[in-house]
Amino acid sequence: MKNVIFFISVFIFFVAASADLKAQGIGNPGQIISRSQARHLFGEPIDFMSFNKKALLNLIKRSNSVLMIGRKNGRFVISNSGREVLYPSDVTIQSDEVMNAFGLEVLTEFLNQVEGNKVLIEIRPGEVLTISSDTENTADGYTLEYSVPCPPICPW
């Protein structure tokens, strides 16, 4: 009887955890916020890379569920959900290297809201990775955050 109760408890826990992950947007990770809110929540960027918006839209076409962004040896790296490096071409990543996953739907929505031709891929204090619109007035514009670090969470 104890085993049945334990099994049911574990089952309920996993169902609840699965629903919680879905509610957090794990299936389509990322959330669009204002740049001023990003500064307030995560601090000023400490490093960034300017990236062409159309090039990023083209990289989205080469992935099937998420686009993952990280850093290796001080360089920003972009890969598809299978960890195939899409940018830059001379880098490889291992399965234990942390990449931040953004859902393709929310990333496309973000890029469609960006007015300019470039976005900024940024690192903020605490290794928080954001993507922001490249605008001269830092109070305006959008920032994409709330990515999912993979590993440890890699359901793709």
Q: Find the CATH number of the domain harbouring 53.
A: 3.10.150
Q: Is residue 119 part of a domain?
A: yes
Residue 122 in this model has a pLDDT that exceeds 90: yes
Q: Is residue 38 part of a domain?
A: yes
Cβ(114)–Cβ(142) below 8 Å = yes
Q: Is residue 21 part of a domain?
A: no
Q: Is residue 12 part of a domain?
A: no
| Residue numbers of the domain that contains 99 | 29-150
The 10s digit of each residue's pLDDT in 45-72 is 999 999 999 999 999 999 988 999 999 9
Q: Is residue 16 part of a domain?
A: no
Q: Is residue 101 part of a domain?
A: yes
pLDDT at 18: 40
Average pLDDT, integer, range 105-118: 92
Domains identified in the chain, total number: 1
The DSSP line for 97-144 is S-EEEEEHHHHHHHHHH--SSEEEEEEEGGGEEEEEE--SSTTSSEEE
Q: What are phi and psi for residue 5, nearest 5 degrees?
A: -65, -45
pTM comes to 0.77
Average pLDDT, integer, range 81-110: 94
1 pLDDT tier (thresholds 50, 70, 90):
low
Q: Is residue 88 part of a domain?
A: yes
